[in-house]
Amino acid sequence: MAHCSYWKHHHPISRREFVARTVAGTAAVSLGLPILGGEENGKKEKAKRSAVDKVTLGNSKITVTRLGIGTGSNGGKVQRDLGQEGFNRLVRHAYDRGIRFIDTADMYKIHEMVREAIKGLPREELVIQSKIMWEPFIPKSIAEVLDRFRKELGIEYLDHVLIHCATKKGWPATLESMRDGLSAAKEKGIVRAHGVSCHGLPALQEVADCKWVDVDLARCNHRGLHMDGEKGAWSEGGNKSEAIDQLKRIHAAGKGVIGMKIIGNGDFTKPEEREQSVQFAMKAPFLDAVVIGVKSPQEVDEAIERMDRALNAS
C-alpha cells in the first residue's frame, strides 16, 4: 500500500486511471514501444545510426546499406587471392553483420566468385553494383554485355550498372551509345539504375548536369588521396576542394552519391588515419553511402565499428 499512498499524495489520479496507465505501459513494453514520459529529464534518447542502416540514394527509390563491400582492391586481385572459400566467408560475414550492398566490376574479374558467394541468399535483399569499362574500347552491344554479367553473377537483374572510369570532358556525348543501351536495359527491368564512376575533374564536372546519371561513384577521403585531379591520371594529386564542390553539386541535383577510396586505396595503414577518413566521410552530407574494399572479416568489423562511432559522435 506504500506505493498507493505515494501516488495518492504526489499524483492524485483515480484507481481507474491508475489501472489504465498500468495496462498501457505493460502493452507498450510487450510490443517494444517507447513509454511516453520515461525519458530522463524529459529528453528523448537520440536514435543511433549505423553502417548497416538502409539509406536512399539521392532522389531515387533505391535503398542500400550505408556501407557496401568493395571487391576491387588492386583491381580485384586482393579479393581473388582469397580463393572461393575465403571469399565466401568474407561475403557471408558481411551479410551476417547486416551489409546488403556489394560493389564489383567487369575489370575485377570476380563476377563468378560473387555468384558463388551470394548463392542461396535472398536476392531481393541484395544490391549488386557492377561497372562496364569503356576505355580503351566501347562495347558494341550493351545488351550482350549485360547478358554476360547476369550469367556470370547468376542473377536476373543488376541493381546498378555504371560506366567505369570516365576521364574526359564531354563523356556524356562521346558515350551516348552506352548510355542509350543502359537506358534500354533499365526500361526492360534488367538494370534498376545507371550512372558513372569518374576518374578526373574533367569528367566529374559533367555529372551534375547529366540528367541520365542516377548514381555517381566518387573518390573521397580526408586527405584527397587519389581523388579527382585535373587530368584524371591515377598518380596525380587530387584537387580535393574542387572535387568536393562537384560532389555537392551532384548531390544537390538529386543523384545518389556513393563514396569510394575512403581508405585511400588501402594507403591509410595507420588506424588513426583510417579513423580520421571515416569520420570525414560520415560527416560529409553529400555522400549517401560508401564502399570499402575489404579482404577479411576483421576489416568488415573494423569498418562497421568506425562508421558507427563516427555516425553517433556528439
Domain coordinates in residue numbering, the chain: 2-42, 54-311
CA 81, CA 77: separation in Å to the nearest integer? 6
What pLDDT is recorded for position 136? 75
Per-residue model confidence (pLDDT) at position 109: 98
What per-residue confidence (pLDDT) applies to 20?
43
Query: Is the separation of the CB atoms in 290 and 84 below 8 Å?
Result: no
User: HSE of 69 in the Cβ direction (CA atoms, 13 Å)?
Assistant: 33
pLDDT level of residue 238 (50, 70, 90 thresholds): confident
- pLDDT at position 61 is 86
pLDDT of residue 45: 66
Pick the CATH number of 54-311 from 3.20.20.100, 3.60.20.10, 3.10.450.40, 3.30.300.30: 3.20.20.100
Q: Are strands 191-198 and 256-260 parallel, antiparallel or unpaired?
A: unpaired
The pLDDT, as a whole number, for residue 2 is 35
With 0-12 CB in 10 A as exposed, 13-18 as middle and 19+ as buried, what is 63? middle
* Range with the poorest average pLDDT among 43-57, 81-95, 104-118, 213-227: 43-57
Query: What pLDDT does 1 receive?
Result: 38
pTM listed for this prediction? 0.85
pLDDT at 135: 78
Q: Which residue has better confidence, 39 or 112?
A: 112
**Per-residue pLDDT tens digits for 48-77:** 999 999 999 999 889 999 999 999 999 999
Q: Does pLDDT of 120 surpass 80?
A: yes
- Within 213-312, where are the H helices? 240-252, 271-282, 297-311
Residue 89 is predicted with a pLDDT of 98
What's the pLDDT at 44?
61
282 contacts: CB under 8 Å, gap ≥ 6:
307, 310, 311
Q: Residue 108 pLDDT more than 70? A: yes
DSSP 32: T
Q: Which three cell numbers stand for residue 135?
A: 576505355
How confident is the model over 175-181, as a mean pLDDT? Answer: 96
Name the average pLDDT for the chain.
Answer: 88
Q: Rounded to the nearest 5°, which phi and psi values hold at 56?
A: -95, 135
Q: What is the pLDDT averaged over residues 125-135?
A: 94
Segment 204-208 mean pLDDT: 98
